[in-house]
Amino acid sequence: MMTIDKDKVFKNSRLTYRLETLANNAISANDPLFVEKLGCNIREMRILRLIDDHPGIEFNEIMRISGLDRSLVSRLIRSLLEKTLILRVNNTEDARRYGLFTTDTGKTCRQLGRELSDAAEALLLQPLEPAEVEQLKALLGRLLSWVRSDDYQTGVQAMYGSFRGREER
């Protein structure tokens, strides 16, 4: 019966794999905590935070910034409205639009969420030195803006072109 060293396998792994695994682990540890303590999941909290930081923000801005799908954003907003964490104020100039604001309950929830996130992040980053945390954040930030850039997309397209499949289809 062979026993393979998990860490060793991991050491040879791809960066995307590392990122994904780490993200999944961290999130699956935290999300239930948010749901239990605050009644909303991490994604709802992110939208709430966005609204709290940008009072009056509109649907399309939330969509643009969060990068989430239209239907999804719509559902998340509805959910937050149903929980009375946010408030909707129709735009007087264009009745299709509306601005969003956090209610008092929403502000409290957001504040609790912040404390929870702080605790969760502190725990996650416990093994790193402060300087290393900064390094990590900076590196991830650079990669993210690269990945979101047009040049990256062009690169991906070029890759598509340059590979020949296992067999012609």
Selection from DNA, a second copy, none that 101 binds (CB < 5 to 8 A by kind) is none
CB of 91 to a second copy, least distance (A): 10
Helix (H/G/I), strand (E/B), else coil: 128: coil
Q: Are 86 and 45 in contact (CB under 8 A)?
A: no
Pick from 72, 60, 64, 41: which is nearest to 100 by CA? 60
What is the number of residues in the chain?
Answer: 169
How many of the other CB atoms lie within 10 Å of CB of 79?
16
If binding is defined by CB under 8 A, does position 96 make contact with a second copy? no
Pick from 92, 109, 89, 108: which is nearest to 100 by CA? 89
Q: Can you tell me the distance from the alpha carbon of 32 to that of 164, in angstroms, rounded to the nearest whole number?
A: 44
Among 46, 54, 75, 83, the residue binding DNA under the rule CB under 7 A is 75
Tell me whether residue 78 or residue 137 sits nearer to a second copy (CB atom). Answer: 137
Structure-block tokens of residue 2 = 């062979």
Helix (H) or strand (E) holding 99, with range, is strand 98-102
Selection from a second copy, DNA, none that 134 binds (CB < 5 to 8 A by kind) is none
Residues 41-60 interacting with DNA (rule: CB under 7 A): 58-60
Among 102, 107, 145, 168, the residue binding a second copy under the rule CB under 8 A is 145
CB of 63 to a second copy, least distance (A): 11
CB of 96 to DNA, least distance (A): 4
Among 37, 78, 114, 137, the residue binding DNA under the rule CB under 7 A is 78
If binding is defined by CB under 8 A, does position 70 make contact with a second copy? no
How many of the other CB atoms lie within 10 Å of CB of 30?
20
Among 38, 47, 51, 77, the residue binding DNA under the rule CB under 7 A is 77
Chain residues binding DNA by CB under 7 A are 58-60, 68-75, 77-78, 93-98
